[in-house]
Structure formats: C-alpha cells, structure tokens
Amino acid sequence: MTNLRFEDLNIKAPFLKALNEEGYTSPTPIQHETIPLVLKGLDVLGMAQTGTGKTAAFTLPILQKLNSSQSTEKARDPRALILAPTRELAIQINESIRKYGQYIAIKHTVIFGGVKQGPQVKSLERGMDIIVATPGRLLDLINQGFCSLDKIEFFVLDEADRMLDMGFIRDVVKIVKILPKKRQTLFFSATMPDSVIKLANTILTSPKQVKVKSTLTPVERIAQSVIVVEPKDKVLQLITLLKDKVFKSVIVFTKTKHKANRISQKLTAVGIDSEAIHSNKSQAARQKALNGFKDGTIKILIATDIAARGIDVEAVSHIINFDMPSTPEDYVHRIGRTARAGASGIAVSFCEPSERLKLFRIEKLIDLKLEVVQSNLLNPDNLIGYNEEVSSSSQNKKRDYNQFENTKYNSKKMATTKGKSGLKRNAKKTKLLQNKKKENKS
Ligand code: AMP
C-alpha cells in the first residue's frame, strides 16, 4: 500500500464511498500506477499477479468513465467487455464491479459456460453496460445473435498468460476481431512470456507499461517450504499436517481432478472434512464449495490449478502443493492464493525425490532458495480410520527420514550449482550424495 489516497487519484465520491465501506483507504501499487493512465484514456499493458489489487485497478476507472457518460436507453449494448480465463475469476470480477459500483446506476452481468444459457441471454436482452465473460460462451452467444460488441469502448483482457495456457487464444483473437477499432484496451498478465507479448502487440495501441515493483512481491510475504516425500507417503503427510490446528483455511493443490476427489475421500476416512473443486463439478457445486470456503464452513479445499484461479479469499492460511505444479509459473499462481491484499501466508510443497528439477526451476523463477524441511511428522496415531495402504507406508518411516536428511543437505549445497548446465548440476548432485553417504558411514 502507498501513503496516497484514492482521492488523490481523482476517484469520485460514489466510488470513494464504496471503497471506504470495504475498508480500502490507500491504493495498492498497481492501482496507483494504472488508475491515472486509464482515466487519461491510454492503453495499458500490466504485469501483475492476482492478489495485488489489479481487479480494482481496471474496474474503478472504467466504472468512473462509464458513469460520466451514462446511457439512459434501457436496452443498451455493452460498452465495456472484460474477458477472464475461468468462470470463477469472471464471477469474482463481476462481484468486484457490484461492490465498487454499488452507488451508481450501472448494469453488469457475467457470462460463462457450463450452465444453461437462458438466464444469460435474458440479462443481455435487458441491456448491459459491462459484460464480464469467459471467451467460449461469449462467442457462442455472439454467434447466435444474442450479444453485440459494436458499442464496446473498454476492453480488458485479464490473466492473458492463463488464457493462452488454457488454449483460449483462438477464441480471444476472434472476439478481438469483432471489437470496434476505436477503443481503450487494458491487458493484464502475471507473466510475460514471448507468446503473451506477441498477443499484446496485436491488440494494444501504444500501451503504457505498468509493472508492480516486482511480480514477486506477494511471493516474498509467503513463508515457503518444501517437504521431500515419497509418492506413497504423501497422503499420510497431508493428514499429519491437516491435523495440526494451525492449518485453518487451506487449499490443497493436486495435478488431476481424479486425484482431488480421491484425496478428499481419503481425508473423509480419517474424519477430516474437505471439498474437491475442479472443472468436472457442476458450476453450482463449485460455487457452493467456494462460498463455504469463504464463510469458513469448509476449511479445506482440494483444487486443481484451473479451478483455483478465481479463489479470492483473504484468509487462506495455507497452500499445500500435494503435487508439484507442472510449470514454475503455476507455483506463483498457486501460492498467490494466500497472502492476499497485504496479508502473509504459508505455502508447503510436497516434492517427490524425482522432482528436484521442478524445484530448481521454481527457485530460479522466484529467485529464492526454498527451505527444505525435515518431516518427522509422520505420526502413526493419524492412521486411525485410515486404510492398509497408508499404514504399511508408515513402517518406512525411518527410511523416509533419512531421505529428508539427504534432502536438507542437498538443498544447502545445491546453491553452489546455480547457473551450471543440467548435466553438470546432476554430476555435482551425485557427487554430493556420494560424499554424504561416506560421511554417514564414517
Ligand atoms: P485482486 O488482485 O484484484 O485479485 O485483489 C486482491 C484482493 O485485494 C481482493 O480481496 C481485493 O478486494 C483486495 N483489495 C483491492 N484493492 C485493495 C486496496 N486498495 N486495499 C486493500 N485491499 C484491496
């Protein structure tokens, strides 16, 4: 947060009132930089993660501009379009618009797939000022003649990197093609790989670049650690952590939807309540789980990367990466679910011995050495009610403990291999392990 106030950014009374009610007095850095540019009518290329306050950074000035030239027509065409990669994020953005725009007469709606289109068509027919949408369903409704983008003045593409990852690029390009050429465009992405820059170049006009101090700012507020654990011991390790009372509001990330379900069932077997949230669940079930998580009735969510994108809950105490993320960028997105809006958080990642490379890549991206902690937490008492498969793995406790010992040793020494090629690093790794074994014997 800065010492500046929203008033200093020329934000007008109805929005100040709404912000005040939310308890937000100072703009976050991304808001500080972006709001004046948007109010001036400039295109913006913003590099910012979720959790930085980026939604308000584009929502507030757009609402203010729309409000200053409000249409009185009832069945009006939308003047602002916000595209988001997931339904959860789209719902979240629409909710922010409701919050910040509650003292003005603005009409907004959210459009996403996986549910019946009837209510969405009806809301479009009533006339809207702002549409928040995922690309697929929006295109569908446009093709059926239910939605016109002819009057769009403001276009926001949020989480562009995720849009590309999820294969929505073609839909996005199709939508951009039918937008009026004369418009203001705001483009946000947590990361800026070449593919994202290429996309940005095709849809922005002389944009001003905004980069919050570092994309790593939220990451720095998160206490991060790694537990090296054999695949077969992961569930027991998870149970052991979750039985500790400090784990109050937790998101557990898994690689697949199937695994999310299975883990949730295994937790139930030992009396730990949780909800799985992923794209195979109906929208209603996903929303119900999210609402339960927000109001605290559900303490543990088991999620896949995509489903977790829209989770904006201020009090997430812990992130547990049950499976290491497939890309280092996903790691940043995942742990960004905690430490939101200035809070701090804790992230624990389970790293299988064969997944060292993934760990190194993450450390390279965030430029931070993650602490590898010993896990002597495997507690047989936690097995009460749990099945054979896990009980037998607890007998391997000793061997696992040695594994963690080695890991701790390695993690410290590996710092010196930074910048070396993969082959050299592996050779050094092997040598370090051999030396350590010798030390242990002597
Ligand atoms: P976002 O990056 O847009 O997902 O926002 C992350 C969180 O920060 C949300 O819970 C917002 O409600 C909250 N937030 C947005 N702006 C501010 C602000 N100026 N001060 C404190 N919290 C904020």
pLDDT per residue rounded down to tens, the chain (442 residues): 447 899 999 999 999 999 999 888 889 999 999 999 999 999 999 998 777 889 999 999 999 999 998 777 777 899 999 999 988 899 999 999 999 999 999 999 999 998 999 999 999 999 999 999 999 999 999 999 999 999 999 999 999 998 988 889 999 999 999 999 999 999 999 888 899 999 999 999 999 999 885 444 456 678 888 998 889 889 999 998 898 878 888 999 999 989 999 999 999 999 999 999 877 777 788 888 888 888 889 999 999 887 666 666 667 889 999 999 988 878 888 887 776 655 567 889 999 989 988 998 888 888 788 888 766 554 444 444 433 333 333 333 332 323 333 333 232 222 222 333 333 444 444 455 555 555 554 4
Ligand 1 mean position, distance from CA 274 (Å): 26
> Quick one: which of 234, 262, 241, 263 has its CA closest to 319?
241
Ligand 1 test: best mutation among 2, 54, 55, 95, most atoms within 8 Å of CB? Answer: 55
As a whole number of angstroms, the distance between CA 175 and CA 172 comes to 5
**Can you list the domains of the chain with their CATH numbers?**
6-211 (3.40.50.300), 222-390 (3.40.50.300)
Ligand 1 mean position, distance from CA 70 (Å): 26
Ligand 1 mean position, distance from CA 93 (Å): 11
Q: Reading across the β-sheet that carries 222-228, which strands appear in turn?
A: 275-277, 300-303, 250-253, 318-321, 345-351, 222-228, 371-373
Handedness of CA 276, 279, 282, 284 (dihedral sign): positive
CB–CB of 419/389 below 8 Å? no
As a whole number of angstroms, the distance between CA 181 and CA 383 comes to 62
Ligand 1 mean position, distance from CA 22 (Å): 10
As a whole number of angstroms, the distance between CA 261 and CA 182 comes to 47
Q: What angle do CA 91, 78, 177 make, to 5 degrees?
A: 95
Ligand 1 test: best mutation among 1, 8, 28, most atoms within 8 Å of CB? Answer: 28
Ligand 1 mean position, distance from CA 259 (Å): 31
Residues flanking ligand 1, CB < 6 Å: 24, 26-28, 31, 50-56, 312, 314, 340-341
For residues 172-200, b (16+ Cβ closer than 10 Å) or e, as one string? beebbeebeeebbbbbbbbbbeeebeebb
CB–CB of 98/167 below 8 Å? no
